[in-house]
């Protein structure tokens, strides 16, 4: 891949990835939907047994979301070099990798939601000012590692 040639593995001190504990944050919503689906199937089977199998049509989209979120956890990373920043993340059902030269970077923001404050993780927004892309978001990275990488 492009970024494997751009940034070699000997620069591992300049990159960060989500930890294994962050996997729970990535998979929480699809697993919650799976639990709700099977609870609904059980309840509907108890009330109207002939209609319960119809809910299995909701299973493939939930499993698809579960797979996307797992691959998002595997591919999310931030690599900082003197020339630019390499960010891999996801948005909705799309995984992306973006190389942003330092001269095109207009704004960097580190945000935390309520749950991320307790876990020590953050969401990093890298804004380029481009019309189509605008900002790239990298979710669930360690806040301390991101701040030390960006020298903030």
pLDDT at 152 over 60: no
Measured CA distances, 72 to 42, 63, 66, 107, 138 (Å): 31, 14, 10, 24, 10
Task: Pick the more confident residue, 60 or 7.
Answer: 60
Averaged over 104-110, what is the pLDDT? 86
Looking at every residue in the chain, the average pLDDT score rounds to: 82
Specify which of 21-25, 61-65, 101-105, 142-146 reaches the highest per-range mean pLDDT: 61-65
pLDDT at 13 over 70: no
pLDDT at 9 over 60: no
pLDDT at 143 over 50: yes
How many residues in total does the chain contain?
152
What confidence tier does 4 reach under pLDDT thresholds 50, 70, 90? very low
Rounded to an integer, what distance in angstroms lies between the CA atom of residue 26 and that of residue 140?
8
At residue 34, the pLDDT reads 94
pLDDT at 151 over 90: no
Q: What torsion do the CA atoms of 102, 97, 71, 35 make, to the nearest 10 degrees?
A: 80
At residue 35, the pLDDT reads 95
Q: What is the pLDDT of residues 41-72, one digit of tens each?
A: 889 888 888 887 888 888 999 999 999 999 98
């Amino acid at each position: 891949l492009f970024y494997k040639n751009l940034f070699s593995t000997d620069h591992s001190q300049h990159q960060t990835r989500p930890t294994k504990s962050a996997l729970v944050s990535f998979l929480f919503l699809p697993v919650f939907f799976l639990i709700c689906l099977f609870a609904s199937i059980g309840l509907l089977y108890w009330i109207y047994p002939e209609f319960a199998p119809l809910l299995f049509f909701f299973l493939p989209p939930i499993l698809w979301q579960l797979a996307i979120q797992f691959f998002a956890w595997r591919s999310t990373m931030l690599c900082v070099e003197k020339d630019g920043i390499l960010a891999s993340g996801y948005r909705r059902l799309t995984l992306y990798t973006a190389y942003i030269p330092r001269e095109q970077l207009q704004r960097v923001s580190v945000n935390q939601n309520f749950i991320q404050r307790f876990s020590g993780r953050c969401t990093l927004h890298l804004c380029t000012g481009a019309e189509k892309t605008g900002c790239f978001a990298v979710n669930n990275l360690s806040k301390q590692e991101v701040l030390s990488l960006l020298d903030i």
